[in-house]
């Protein structure tokens, strides 16, 4: 089981690193195949992985100048403050509701990413993205996936270049991933050896993915890859639910 788990997580880290997401968005359903407890095993492990993989994606994007540090710092401050609220709420509601919220979120994102965006909307609207960061962070903390999976398409849909969006997003989701983990400290059930192995391979995969995007992937292709990833995860969740 461990070999499949580590190998699968590495592949997911490469893909998520290409998008500046952190791996938790894909890791939640993947880890659920191997770990039975969503709240006490899957979510805390996913949040740790998200923080580490997002951090190493920052290194990869920064090497090519794709990180707007001012915007990333502002978004990171907001997401760090609000993400733990969702992590606190999830421990006080039924698990089934977590999955339904997760499904609704990815379905909404898929619809908006594949919908054509008019050229008049291409100018960056960072204030709107900044205003949406707080509710995005609460929802993502509730889902245990970190804010990247919602913040990344928000930046794209508010006119940011996909590569810049990926670099900004990777930095902005790093601290809230760790702050969202804090409410799980008292109840998390993690295997130290397995967790350390996943963190190492996740970091390596994420850095590789961010360099692939920075050097070889056209900006328009990033949005398409993100949309396909969301559709695949949504279809998976439909079959599970």
241 pLDDT tier (thresholds 50, 70, 90): low
What percentage of the chain's residues is helix, strand, coil (to nearest 5)? 80, 0, 20
**Is the Cβ–Cβ distance between 202 and 57 less than 8 Å?**
no
For the chain, how long is the longest CA-to-CA vector?
51
The mean pLDDT of the chain is 83
Enter the pTM of the model.
0.79
Cα–Cα distance measured from residue 140 to residue 152, given in angstroms and rounded to the nearest whole number: 12
Domain that holds residue 28: 2-240
pLDDT in tens, 7-48: 999 999 998 899 888 888 788 888 988 988 888 899 899 989
Our count of domains for the chain comes to: 1
* Predicted local confidence at residue 119, as pLDDT: 45
Cα–Cα distance measured from residue 199 to residue 53, given in angstroms and rounded to the nearest whole number: 8
Q: Is 19 helix (H, G, I), strand (E, B) or coil?
A: coil
Cα–Cα distance measured from residue 79 to residue 63, given in angstroms and rounded to the nearest whole number: 24
* Predicted local confidence at residue 6, as pLDDT: 94
pLDDT at 163 over 50: yes
What is the rounded average pLDDT of the residues 142-163? 80
- Two tokens at 45? 């492990």
């Amino acid at each position: 089981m461990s070999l499949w788990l580590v190998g699968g997580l590495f592949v997911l880290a490469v893909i998520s690193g290409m998008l500046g997401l952190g791996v938790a968005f894909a890791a939640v359903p993947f880890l659920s195949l191997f770990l039975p407890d969503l709240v006490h095993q899957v979510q805390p492990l996913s949040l740790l992985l998200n923080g580490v993989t997002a951090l190493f994606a920052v290194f990869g994007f920064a090497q090519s100048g794709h990180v707007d540090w001012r915007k990333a710092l502002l978004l990171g401050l907001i997401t760090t403050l609000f993400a733990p609220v969702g992590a606190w709420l999830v421990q006080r509601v039924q698990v089934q509701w977590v999955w339904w919220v997760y499904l609704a979120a990815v379905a909404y994102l898929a619809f908006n990413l594949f919908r054509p965006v008019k050229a008049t909307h291409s100018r960056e609207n960072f204030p709107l993205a900044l205003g949406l960061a707080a509710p995005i962070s609460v929802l993502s903390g509730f889902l245990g996936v970190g804010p990247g999976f919602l913040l990344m398409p928000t930046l794209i849909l508010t006119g940011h270049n996909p590569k810049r969006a990926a670099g900004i997003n990777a930095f902005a989701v790093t601290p809230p991933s760790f702050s969202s983990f804090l409410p799980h400290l008292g109840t998390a059930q993690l295997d130290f050896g397995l967790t350390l192995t996943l963190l190492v391979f996740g970091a390596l995969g994420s850095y590789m993915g961010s360099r692939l995007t920075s050097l070889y992937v056209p900006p328009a292709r990033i949005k398409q890859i993100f949309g396909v990833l969301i559709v695949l995860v949504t279809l998976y969740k439909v079959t599970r639910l």
